[in-house]
Amino acid sequence: MQPPDLSGVQRIEHESMIDPWSEEQLLAEMDAVNGVAFVAEEGPQQVCGYAFFRTCAPESELLRLAVARDRKRQGIGSTLLHHALHFFSEKGYETCFLEVRCSNEEARHLYMKAGFQQVGIRTKYYCQPIEDALLLCRNLNDSRGGNP
């Protein structure tokens, strides 16, 4: 992800997230020392999806993954996720964690298909509305759960 991608990321963030990050939050995440961000583009600077991660070796954590509303169900989210997991695996990371709303069945299906497994529940983790989160983990050295 590069600074020119910000407007596309911000557009998708606001159409996709219940509690979207502000421009300042997105910029801070792009600049985070231990942050890694990926975009999917249709053409130069035409962002159709993005993913933000944080790292603390040997772990990585998916913070956000979103796809433009008009590009959903075309494999973009899956491609972004698999690319990132492969990237982290190649860099020697061992695990990837994430939290997902219990009600977000579409995202839960994507993550389970990619080999994530539930390892916990975070009670009342989300607000607007208040909801539990499922804590998921993927062993990046395990080839059984989808790619990488």
Residue ranges per structural domain of the chain:
3-139
- Residue with token string 């062993």: 139
Q: Which residues contact 112 (CB under 8 A, 6 or more apart)?
A: 136
Specify the residue for token string 């959903």: 72
Which fold would CATH assign to domain 3-139? Aminopeptidase (3.40.630)
pLDDT (tens digit, 9 = 90+) per residue, 17-57?
988 999 999 999 999 999 999 999 987 778 999 999 999 99
Read off the pLDDT of residues 72-90 as tens digits, 9 standing for 90 and up. 999 999 999 999 999 999 9
* Distance between CA atoms of residues 59 and 76, nearest Å: 24
pTM summary value: 0.90
* Beta strand residue intervals within the chain, DSSP E: 35-41, 47-56, 59-67, 95-101, 117-126, 131-139
